[in-house]
Amino acid sequence: MDLDAVKVLLESQERTFRSALELVVEQWKERIRLVEGKMTDLTKSLEFSQAEILDLENNEKVLQKLNKDKQVAVEELQSRVAELNHRLNYQEDYTRRNNLRISGLKEQPVGETWEQTAVNVSKILEDKLQLPSVNLERAHRVGPAAAAASSHPRAVVVRFKNFSDREAAIRNASKLKGTGIYINEDLCPASLEIKKKQFPLMKKAREDGKIAFFRHTRLIIRERIDQRSSSSVPAAGSPHVGAGFSGWVAHGDSTVRPPDGTERVSSETTGDRRVSGDSTGCQQRVLRDRKKT
C-alpha cells in the first residue's frame, strides 16, 4: 500500500472519530442543560418553599400572640366570674344571716306543719338553751317529705326576727351536747362545700388541743391560752367578766370568742395581746397583764 492510500485512510478514520466525539459531546451538553433546568426548577421550588415557611412562621407568631391574648382574656374572665360567684355567694349568705340550721330535731312521721315545727324549735330554745321569748319569723323542714319516715329527721331552717336572738342561740348551742341536736349556720351550698372540705383540718386541730372555728367559710386555728395567763384571760369560748366586753382576746396564736360571737382581732402576731372592743377597762387590764408577763 502506497503512502497516499494510507493518508486517505487515516483522514477517513479521523473524520469518523471526530463525528462520533462531537455526537457524544452534544449528548452530554444536552444532559447538562436538562440537569441545569432541573436545578433551576428545584431552586425556584426551594425558594418558594422557604417563602412559605417564613409566612407560616410569621403566621404562627401571630397566632401565638392571639392565643396568648385570648388566654389572658380568658383568665381575666375566669377571675371575674370567680369574683362574681364569690360576691353572689356572700350576698346569699348575707340574706341568711338571721337563719340557723338545726339537725337532729325529732320530726313527726306524717304531716308535720310549719307551725308545729316552729313550736318544737321554740321549745328547744326555751328548755335546752334557756332562751325564752325568742321571736321566730318562720321554721320549716328542708328536703323531701319522704325522708321523715327514716331514722334521720330532716333538718330545720329557722329564721329569727332579731339577729341578736340568732347569735344568742349560736352561743348557747354547746348546751345541746349529748342530745343529738346540732345548730349550725345556714349557708349557701357553695359555702357549705368550702367548709366541708376543711372539716378534717378542724377535727385534727381540735384533737391536738388547739382552738379551731370558722369565720364565715375561713377556718381559723390558734393555740390555746397557756395556764400562766388563765387567771387573767377567760377560757376559750367563755364570756369575759368585764362589763361591755365585745371583742376578741388574742394571746400568741390563741383566740377567745366573745359573748356576741363577733370577731374583732386587732392583731394576730405571736406574742402580742390586744383587745378591740367597747370596754376601755378591759383593754387596760389586758395591757397590765401583758406588762407583768
Residue 136: what residue type?
Answer: L
The pLDDT mean for the chain works out to 78
How would residue 260 be classed by pLDDT, with cut points 50, 70 and 90?
Answer: very low
Mean pLDDT in residue range 35-43 = 90
Mean pLDDT in residue range 258-262 = 38
pLDDT score at 232:
38
Q: Which of 241, 265, 239 is nearest to 253 (CA)?
A: 265
Backbone region of residue 51 per phi and psi (left: phi > 0; alpha: psi in -120 to 50; beta: other values): alpha
Mean pLDDT in residue range 167-181 = 91
Q: Is the pLDDT of residue 268 over 50?
A: no
Least confident of 194-208, 231-245, 279-293: 231-245
Residues 12-28: tens digit of each pLDDT:
888 888 888 888 998 99
Residue 17: what residue type?
Answer: F
Q: Is the pLDDT of residue 47 over 50?
A: yes
Least confident of 2-11, 31-40, 42-51, 58-67: 2-11
Least confident of 106-120, 158-172, 212-226, 247-261: 247-261
Mean pLDDT in residue range 230-246 = 37
Q: Is the pLDDT of residue 142 over 80?
A: yes
Q: Is the pLDDT of residue 146 over 60?
A: yes
Backbone region of residue 162 per phi and psi (left: phi > 0; alpha: psi in -120 to 50; beta: other values): beta
CA gap 289, 243 in Å, rounded: 18
Q: Is the pLDDT of residue 291 over 50?
A: no
Residue with cell 376559750: 236
Query: Could you count the other beta carbons within 10 Å of the beta carbon of residue 166?
Result: 23
3-state secondary structure of 171: helix
Residue 237: what residue type?
Answer: G
Backbone region of residue 209 per phi and psi (left: phi > 0; alpha: psi in -120 to 50; beta: other values): left
pLDDT score at 83:
95
Question: Phi and psi at residue 155, in whole multiples of 5°?
Answer: -70, 160
